[in-house]
Amino acid sequence: MVSAVAGWSAPAATAAPASCRIGAYVTDLYGFDVSPRTINADFWLWSVCPTADLDVTRRLEFVNAKDASQSDRSVERVGNEYWSQVKVSGTFRQEFDLREYPFDEQNVKIRIEDSEYDSSQFTYVADNANSGYDHSIGLEGFQIKGFDAGVITHAYQTSFGDPRIAHGKDSRYSQFVIDLRLERSDLAGFIRQAWPAYVAFLISFISYWIWAADFITVVGARFGILGASLFSVVISMRATSLTGTSFGVTLVDQIHLATLLYTLVGVGCTSYILYRWADPEKRASARRTNTIVSVSTTVVFLAANAISIGFAVT
């Protein structure tokens, strides 16, 4: 990873490392994709260095890029410093957290590192004052709520074979990180994905109140309604799941699972009443059980939904 830049020798590891100011301005974000966990970004990157040979834009490594291209590179002397800039377009891998989808917040990070010199030889200094993003960026389904640009030191558990680094020691590199905070508030999308589950809940709730003096005459209708509810929940859950991803249980998944459990309790309650109905002396208690189960499970279902949605939107 270490080589010489023409006309400039890397400082000794014991000396203060050379440094350049580095900044970025994001001009576009697009192609947010949860399945391969990537997002596309276009941005300008610049550096201000004490010598032309230190030019940062010559030694860029995009750590989390799936692919990246550079264009329109330029270098200009301004007083006693050298200002260089380059336009970057690329697809960058991300760690998306969709547990609160579709009210999730995401941190999009672009990590840039010097491809040759470790942090004992060269470091970045973030140009926070001039870094930022184009406020006209329209990423579908999201709003940009924050931006940050900073420098960290990233450690690798290897020397990359550098004989100057003791065996078993880490090698460290200065890393410039662009961080955009995105917020999604897709109420229409939430309603579109959740309403089948709520319709199934209402159907299951109605089934509790299908009653007759002779329960046997309505048990078939009750089981039929609960079966239709179960079927609709399963189909809706499959349709709204984030196919091909492994993000855990999203908010929409939680609602579907709660509805599925609510309906299964209804099936269990109906089966219990059918079992007890054979004994005429136990029919009154079976009716009370039906009322208690219907009221208690409905209250729990509604409360759990309110809590889950409340945590997601706040």
Q: What is the chain's pLDDT, residue by residue, as a tens digit (314 residues)?
A: 444 444 455 544 457 899 999 999 999 999 998 888 999 999 999 999 999 989 999 999 999 999 999 999 999 999 999 999 999 999 999 998 888 888 889 999 999 999 999 998 999 999 999 999 999 998 988 999 999 999 999 998 887 777 777 666 788 999 999 999 999 877 787 888 899 999 999 999 999 999 888 889 899 999 999 999 999 999 988 887 754 455 567 888 899 999 999 999 999 999 999 999 988 889 999 999 999 999 999 999 999 999 988 888 77
Beta bridge partners of 272: none
Instruction: Please give the model's pTM, rounded to 2 decimal places.
Output: 0.74
SS3 assignment, position 160 = coil
Distance of CA 48 to CAs 101, 119, 177, Å? Answer: 41, 18, 17
Total residue count of the chain as it appears in this document: 314
Q: Rounded CA gap, 108 and 95, in Å?
A: 8
* Answer CATH for 187-313 from 3.50.50.60, 1.20.1250.20, 1.10.3720.10, 1.20.58.390: 1.20.58.390
CB 190 within 8 A of CB 249: no
Beta bridge partners of 40: 30, 91
Tell me which H or E stretch contains 62: strand 60-62
- Domains of the chain, by residue range, sit at 18-183, 187-313
| Residue closest to 232 by CA, chosen among 268, 203, 275 | 203
Instruction: For 18-183, give the CATH class.
Output: mainly beta
Q: Rounded CA gap, 227 and 280, in Å?
A: 27
In this prediction, residue 199 carries a pLDDT of 94
In this prediction, residue 7 carries a pLDDT of 45
In this prediction, residue 40 carries a pLDDT of 97
In this prediction, residue 167 carries a pLDDT of 64
